[in-house]
Amino acid sequence: MIIIQPIGNVEEEILEFLKKFISTIFNTRCIVSNQKLATPEDAYNPLRNQYHSTRLLLFLKNVLRGDFNRILGVTNVDLYAPHLNFVFGEAESPGKFAIISTYRLKHPDRRIFLERVLKEAIHELGHTIGLAHCSNPSCVMYFSNSIIDTDKKSPKFCKECLKELKTRNKC
């Protein structure tokens, strides 16, 4: 089962949208957690005015220790990793925990915004299953260096990644 865990205030519509498509794509049960989690302020870096994504991931792991499900954290704060200006998300690969941020995915067209969120969610969940980055620019496992890459790729796995996913999802 995949649990979607909001961190801070995340719109219900985003969570419900993710739930619907994630359960279909990964062919598993998916629920939205009703546990309220505040954004941990020790992950905040005032010099960058951003949150450290690995620390947020560790926070999730600590809070949800002993949960044997796959967890997708969703936040609306801006995330960074030490050598990158920003990240859209981060995941253990392979592992059980992933997070995504909606912060840099905003678009006036709601449909485009939601599709971006879904792509990043599937990408990070793909990592938790053990999938690496893919060289096919239309595959969801393609690394997004910028939002342009996210918009170019589809929310789907390419043939190769899908094959890999099916093999790994069994174990």
- Binding site for Zn(2+), by residue number, is 123, 127, 133-134, 139, 158, 161
Q: Which of residues 101, 141, 153, 164 is near Zn ion by CB under 5 A?
A: 141
- Interatomic CA distance for residues 130 and 63, integer angstroms: 23
Is 158 one of the binding residues for Zn ion (CB under 5 A)?
yes
In 109-147, which positions are buried (b, 16+ CB within 10 angstroms) versus exposed (e)? eeeebbbbbbbbbbbbbbbbbbbeebebeebbbbebeee
> Which residue reads 């969570």 in tokens?
15
Q: How many residues interact with Zn ion (rule CB under 5 A)?
A: 6
- Choosing from 90, 115, 120, 124, the catalytic residue is 124
Give the closest residue to 116 by CA, choosing from 169, 141, 152, 68: 152
* 164 carries an active-site annotation: no
Does position 100 bind Zn ion by CB under 5 A?
no
Does 25 bind Zn ion (CB under 5 A)? Our answer is: no
Task: Write out the binding residues.
Answer: 123, 127, 133-134, 139, 158, 161
Q: How far is the CB of 34 from Zn ion (least distance, A)?
A: 28
134 contacts Zn ion (rule: CB under 5 A):
yes
Q: Please give the residue ranges that form the binding site for Zn ion (CB under 5 A).
A: 134, 136, 139, 141, 158, 161
Catalytic residues: 124
